[in-house]
Amino acid sequence: MSAAARPYNFSAGPATIAEEVLAQASAEMLDWPDAQGRRCGMSVMEMSHRGREFVSIYQHAQAALRELLAVPPNYRILFMQGGGLAENAIVPMNLAALRCAAGVQPTVDFVVTGSWSEKSYREAGKYCSAQLAASNAHDGHTRLPEPSSWRIDPRASYVHVCTNETIHGVEFHELPDLRALGCDAPLVIDFSSHVASRPVDWSRVGLAFAGAQKNLGPAGLTVVVVREDLIGHALRCCPSAFDYQRVMDNQSMYNTPPTYAIYIAGLVFDWLKRQGGVRAMEARNIAKARLLYEAIDRSSLYENRVSPDCRSRMNVPFFLRDESRDAAFLAGAAQHGLLSLKGHKSVGGMRASIYNAMPIAGVQALVDYMREFETTCA
C-alpha cells in the first residue's frame, strides 16, 4: 500500500507508527539482516534474547535512545514491561523508602492534573502514604496549578507529576524545578504520551517512565530512565522482576524482555534521528499543534477548554458545541481516512492525538475536513 493510500490514525495509543519503520520491519520479518546486511535466517521474534543478534539489537536501541534524549551518563535506561500503569506501583515500590528513616511510613507527594496522575496517586497509596500536593480537579483539569502553590511535604521521598495528560490534553511545557521551590526530593515524571516529542531537562528529573505505545513503538515495552542514586532502595514487597536494581544489574534481561517491541522501538529511534532528533520533532509538533488549535479557536462549532498556556501538543481534545452532530462528524471523518478521533469515554467529544509519527499533512487533512464539516452542516 502506498503512503497516500494509508489513512491518518489519530489514536491515543497504541498509535500511528511511521510507515518507513513498518516497511523496514516488514522487509526484515522473515530473516533479520545485521548492520552489515548479513542475514541470520531468523525473525527477530524467534531469537534468543541472550544471542549475539538480539543483544546487538538491544544495545543499539539503548544507545540510540540515550543519544536522542541526551540522557546523562549517571542515568540508567531500563527496558521493562507492564506499561505506564504498572509503573504506578513499581515506582513507589522502588522509591518510596528513599528518604525515609527506618520504621517510618514512607511519604510521597502527587500533583494531580488529570486522569493519569490521579491513577498514579491512588495506586501509590497501596505502598506508602500518598499525599496530594496540588490538584486541578476543581476546574475540570483545564489548567496547571502554579508550582509555587504546591504543598510539598519536606519528608516526601519524591514528587510525582504527569507531564502530559493524555486524556485531558494538559501538558507542562516546562518541567517544574523542585529545587527552586526549596525541595530536594527527586521529581518523577510520567512522560508516556510526550516522550521524544521535545528535549528533557534531566537536571530537573530523577526518574521518567513511559509506555512505548504512544510515541516510541508498539505496546509491551516500558522505558524507565532513572538516576543511579535512586536505584537500590526497593521495599521488601517489590517483585524481583520489577526491582530496578535487579533489572539494572541484568541489563534489563533478568527475565525475557519484550524483544520484538524493543526491535521496533530501535527502528523508531533511528527514524527519529533521521528526522533531525527531538529538537526538530519539537518544532514540528509545535507547528502541528498550532495548526489544529487555531482551527478550533477560529470556528464557532469546535471548542477546546484547556487554558492556552498548557494545551498539549500531543493530545488535542475538542468538542462540537452541538453534541448531536458527534456521530456524523466521526462517520464523515472515517470516510475521509481520518481514524480514531472519538474522545476518551470519561471526557466525551473528540480527541486528535498528533504524536511524532503524525505528519503535518495529516493534521492539515483533519483541519480541512473540520472546516468542510462545519460549513456544509451550518
Ligand X SMILES: *Cc1c(COP(=O)(O)O)cnc(C)c1O
Residues identified as active-site: 116, 190, 214
**Least distance between ligand X and beta carbon 334 (Å):** 23
- For residue 265, which of 305, 296, 294, 222 has the smallest C-alpha distance? 222
Whole-number minimum distance, CB 311 to ligand X, in Å?
16
Q: Which is nearer to ligand X, 207 or 370 (CB)?
A: 207
* Cis? peptide before 14, omega within 30° of 0: yes
Min separation Cβ 315 and ligand X, Å: 8
Cβ distance 127 to 93 under 8 Å?
Answer: yes
Three cell numbers at 317?
A: 481534545
Identity of the residue numbered 297: D
Shortest Å distance, C-beta 13 to ligand X = 5
Question: Between 11 and 364, whose beta carbon lies closer to ligand X?
Answer: 11
Q: Which residues bind ligand X (CB under 6 A)?
A: 13, 83-85, 116, 162, 166, 190, 192-193, 211, 214
- The CB density around residue 36, as the number of other CB atoms within 10 Å, is 5
Report residue 29 CA to chain centroid gap.
27
Q: Of the two residues 15 and 65, which places its CB atom closer to ligand X in the complex?
A: 15
Partnered with residue 109 across adjacent β-strands are: 131, 159
Least Å from the CB of residue 82 to ligand X: 7
Q: By Cβ distance, which residue is nearest to ligand X?
A: 83
The residue (of 194 and 233) whose beta carbon lies closer to ligand X is: 194
How many C-beta neighbours within 10 Å does residue 180 have?
Answer: 10
Please report the DSSP string for 92-154 in residue order.
Answer: HHHHTTTT--TTSPPEEEEEE-SHHHHHHHHHHTTTSEEEEEEE-GGGTS-SPPPGGG----T
Report the distance separating Cα 314 and Cα 51, nearest Å.
37
* Residue with Cβ nearer ligand X (192 or 299): 192
Comparison of 159 and 370: residue with beta carbon closer to ligand X = 159
Integer Cα distance of 232 and 235 in angstroms? 9
Q: Min. distance of Cβ 171 from ligand X in angstroms?
A: 10
Region for residue 269 given its phi and psi (left: phi exceeds 0; alpha: psi -120 to 50; beta: otherwise): alpha
